[in-house]
Amino acid sequence: MIAWCASTSGLPRRPGPGYRCGVRATSLSAGAVLAVASAVTIVAAPPASATTPPPVTTGPPVTTAPPATTAPPATTVPVPTTRTPQAPPSPLAPPNPRRSWAGRLLVVATARANPGPGGRPLRLLQPIAPLGAGPVWLQVKGVKVVAGRRWVKVLMPVRPNGSAGWIRASSMRFHPIAVRINIDVSARTLTLVRDGRRVRAFEVAVGTPANPTPTGRFAVAEVIPTGDPTAFLGPVVMPLTAFSDTLNEFAGGNGRVAIHGTSLPELIGQAVSHGCVRMRNADVRWLAHRVPGGTPVIIRA
């Protein structure tokens, strides 16, 4: 890089006042540069004072637009919502070959034709058993949640046989049952089944052809000790949710069918009762210690 200056005489000189200087990139030697410089006509720049800057033209004033006004964001008002309460999980379920559920009635409850408070009322169920004055245990046949509340369908101890109604689950206390009773009328046997397996079978007496033992799916409604092992009904009576199909009244009762003992053990194995299922006293005691209220009872012809 070489710096050079030109005067009005055309000779190269060092930079000074009144000279216009430039910079030129080259790879030539100093002698060659001088030769080229003497052959080139260099025009001196006019004095700086002679140069008049052009006038500045002032245009019309520039108007700055005001910033755009941004509307504040709309305030979102939360809309109140009514959440339907959810019933907590429950293992309650209809009976199956291995397990069923029973509920003890804690308060007077209205049984309804359909689950929910709008269901047609069927009857009032009392928490005190009518025969033994003990607790009432009802077999659970179905479960449904309506508007966040659990309802259970229970087998009722009323006519006609198989009557069921829906009540609030909150009016009951539940427990599972792993046993059931199978009664074969023609074979005149009663069999206790636990967890789907046969535990023990007993010979029993059943109803006469004129007053047969009703068939169907029922449940043990009560377990009542009589306090008298020599009584006609023996030491224990277990009323069912079943009623006689032929008798509306018997011995002052309403034709309720039961499993009970007997003072006539020689008649066991025969069709001699008015519809009840008779057992030997030792057998009915053994059974009563193993079947709670609400135990399913299946009677086949």
Q: Which residues are catalytic?
A: 260, 276
Query: Which residue is listed with tokens 């449940």?
Result: 219
Rounded-to-integer distance, Cα 169 and Cα 109, Å: 10
The dihedrals phi and psi of 285, each to the nearest 5 degrees, come to -65, -45
> Considering only CA atoms, which of 243, 244, 96 is closest in space to residue 180?
96
Q: What are phi and psi of 169, to 5 degrees?
A: -65, -25
- d(C-alpha 89, C-alpha 107), whole Å: 23
The span from the CA of 268 to the CA of 295, in Å, is 23
Whole-angstrom Cα distance, residue 268 to residue 204?
Answer: 5
Q: How far apart are CA 160 and CA 214, in angstroms?
A: 11
